[in-house]
């Protein structure tokens, strides 16, 4: 196996650290991320040795809140991407391997889904149902599988014409086995990239929703509603925007760098 590139190693360390702190920091810390001291209201503190990332307008420690918010972001990323990859992979495989009629129907359905502006759909659903982070995850998952379907379909179309597929067929391998055992692995490298990119965009979508007040509800922290919260204090206390903003950017960047390196690593031809 090839070693990771230094940059993706750095990304891996960053993400691992993020996951670790997101899981354990809120458990171990005796500071509750949501309760605030009434005496400190309206007076955000700049980063210092006691509050590493500073505090917000309610005097809550931003370090704790950032990692408590990271839980939400990671959960959203993993759950929604799992949903979208599962749907995308299965429909893509079917579409690429089936008859022209089935393929056309599925692809037109993809076009239809793509025509729906995701953010408005999510907003509508969040308004109709009570805003909940689980709704956000499911809706992001159900509205972001189309890209994966197209990628997988395109891969299947090119792989199914390869000689080794004809050769496998000549050995008497059934179509189902051909599709899931011989074609599926070849579609995974781009899917891994799509998954990491999807995680990045799911984190962004969640941030947008929380920023708009329709995602994670206060007092629970999420990077999006922390940003939303910072709006009024941008001049006096810029760290309130910089901290969640930096984490969103770095996490999405790290996922993309890692995804790209994974694609190269999982390809046996390049090892």
Partner 1 sequence: MLKVENITTIFKTGQNTVTAVDDVSFDVPENSTIGLVGESGSGKSVTALSILQLLSSNGKTTSGKVLWKDEDLLSSSEKSFQSIRGKEIGLIFQNPLAALNPVFTIGNQLVETLQLHNPKLSKLNALEKAEHLLTEVNIPDAKKRLNDYPHQFSLGMCQRIMIAITIAMNPKLLIADEPTASLDVTIQAQILHLLNELKIKNKMSILLISHDLGVIAQHCDHVLIMYLGKIVESGTPLDIFKSPQHPYTQALIDSIPNPDPSIKKEPTLLKGDIPSPLNIPTGCRFHTRCPKAFDTCEISEPPFQNHLKNSKTSKVACHLFENKPK
- Closer of 60 and 182 to partner 1 (Cβ): 182
* In the complex, minimum distance from the CB of residue 84 to partner 1, in angstroms, rounded to a whole number: 24
Asked whether 216 and 72 are in contact (CB, 8 A), the reply is: yes
* In the complex, minimum distance from the CB of residue 271 to partner 1, in angstroms, rounded to a whole number: 9
Cα–Cα dist 229/98, whole Å: 50
Query: Is-cis flag, bond preceding 100, omega within 30?
Result: no
User: Tokens 């810029």, residue?
Assistant: 238
Instruction: Name beta bridge partners: 55.
Output: 61
* In the complex, minimum distance from the CB of residue 14 to partner 1, in angstroms, rounded to a whole number: 30
Count of other CB atoms within 10 angstroms of residue 154 = 15
Report phi then psi at 61, rounded to 5.
Answer: -70, 125
* In the complex, minimum distance from the CB of residue 269 to partner 1, in angstroms, rounded to a whole number: 6
- Closer of 121 and 168 to partner 1 (Cβ): 168
- Closer of 185 and 232 to partner 1 (Cβ): 185
Q: Name, in order, each residue with C-beta under 8 angstroms of 180's C-beta and a sequence gap of 6 or more.
A: 93
Contacts with partner 1, residue ranges (CB under 8 A) = 161-164, 166-175, 181-182, 185-186, 268-269
- Closer of 130 and 174 to partner 1 (Cβ): 174
* In the complex, minimum distance from the CB of residue 101 to partner 1, in angstroms, rounded to a whole number: 13
- Closer of 87 and 165 to partner 1 (Cβ): 165
């Amino acid at each position: 196996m090839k070693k990771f590139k230094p940059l993706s190693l750095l990304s891996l360390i960053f993400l691992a650290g993020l996951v670790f702190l997101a899981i354990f920091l809120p458990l171990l810390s005796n500071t509750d991320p949501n309760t605030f001291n009434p005496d400190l209201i309206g007076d955000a503190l700049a980063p210092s040795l006691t509050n590493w990332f500073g505090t917000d307008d309610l005097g809550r420690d931003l370090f704790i809140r950032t990692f408590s918010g990271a839980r939400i972001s990671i959960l959203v990323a993993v759950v929604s991407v799992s949903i979208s990859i599962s749907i995308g992979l299965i429909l893509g495989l079917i579409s690429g391997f089936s008859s022209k009629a089935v393929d056309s129907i599925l692809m037109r359905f993809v076009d239809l889904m793509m025509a729906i502006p995701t953010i408005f759909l999510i907003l509508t659903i969040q308004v109709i149902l009570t805003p909940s982070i689980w709704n956000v995850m499911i809706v992001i998952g159900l509205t972001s599988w189309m890209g994966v379907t197209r990628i997988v379909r395109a891969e299947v179309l090119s792989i199914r014409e390869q000689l080794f597929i004809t050769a496998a067929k000549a050995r008497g391998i059934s179509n189902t086995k051909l599709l899931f055992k011989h074609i599926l692995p070849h579609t995974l490298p781009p899917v891994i990239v799509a998954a990491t990119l999807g995680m990045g965009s799911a984190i962004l979508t969640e941030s947008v929703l929380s920023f708009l007040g329709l995602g994670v509800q206060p007092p629970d922290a999420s990077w999006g509603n922390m940003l939303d919260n910072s709006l009024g204090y941008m001049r006096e206390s810029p760290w309130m925007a910089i901290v969640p903003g930096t984490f969103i950017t770095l996490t999405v960047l790290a996922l993309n760098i890692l995804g790209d390196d994974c694609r190269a690593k999982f390809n046996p031809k390049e090892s």
